[in-house]
Structure 1
């Protein structure tokens, strides 16, 4: 009975971990991934203009590679020319910091980023840890505290 209960708890925690955070609304600026919350809280003055896409079907060709994070829509920001200094990092560099292969997929709020060349803004790196992702180690990032 204990084994059954332990197995159930283990499976439940793995299932809960793997779920996507539906409240995360991703944003892209200059081909770098962030969140809408990050921009509205920390970088309002850096934004020149905004384009909101409510569905994957509306994404222009230049943003199709982000369709996997556009389930809840995607916002594209154009930054003012003097506001290009927001911290950013490639996911491959995060993998290296945690001793993983550069090309290991990274999980951000339950969304798997398979292309480790993708750059993200440093503001979204609130909590990071190495987790088991279907039998492989991967960095998991939570964007909210």
Structure 2
């Protein structure tokens, strides 16, 4: 009986942790992943935003198609404004003592390519949890930016 309860508990925790957050809309700028909220809060830096549906992604965004369930926005910075800080997922894995090639879960979306760059400002919380039997980073994003 204990084994059955333990199995159900493990399945439930994986299911809860891996739920995709429908409120998060991802954006890509300079080949790094952020959120639409991140760039909306920094409109002075943004030259243009182009939202795409999952079925109509241009070739340069196809590699991010796994994030396009709610659409995907391409952002372009204004000239001479610099850029926000970003880091690869492999670096985050290393910081938390995990293998560099581990997948990372961001708001329920599984990022299998650890060379993917994400903007540091989207991170609200990072936790290490079990996912499919191995330790995995779970990242929660900032929902509302306060400036």
TM-score for the superposition, normalised by structure 2: 0.89
Equivalents in 2 of 1:109, 1:123: separation in Å?
15
Q: Residue by residue, what CA displacement relative to the aligned partner does 1:14-63 show, whole Å, maximum 9, x if unpaired?
A: 3111111111100000111000011112x11100011110x222100010
Give the CA deviation at 1:3.
6.7
Equivalents in 2 of 1:2, 1:93: separation in Å?
38
- Picking from 77, 92, 95, the partner of 2:93 is 95
Aligned-pair RMSD on alpha carbons? 1.7
What residue number does 1:137 align with? 135
Q: Residue by residue, what CA displacement relative to the aligned partner does 1:84-143 show, whole Å, maximum 9, x if unpaired?
A: 331111111101100111111111001011111110001111100111110111111000
Give the CA deviation at 1:13.
2.9
Which sections of structure 1, spanning at least 5 residues, go unmatched? none
- Picking from 72, 80, 83, the partner of 1:82 is 80
Is the 2:27–2:72 contact (alpha carbons within 8 Å) kept by the matching residues of 1? yes
What residue number does 1:119 align with? 117
Which sections of structure 2, spanning at least 5 residues, go unmatched? none
Give the CA deviation at 1:5.
5.6
4+ long deviations beyond 3 Å: 1-11
2:128 match: secondary structure: strand
Aligned pair count reads 143
TM-score for the superposition, normalised by structure 1: 0.90
What residue number does 1:49 align with? 48
Is the 2:14–2:132 contact (alpha carbons within 8 Å) kept by the matching residues of 1? no
Deviates more, 1:118-127 or 1:81-90: 81-90
Give the CA deviation at 1:81.
2.0
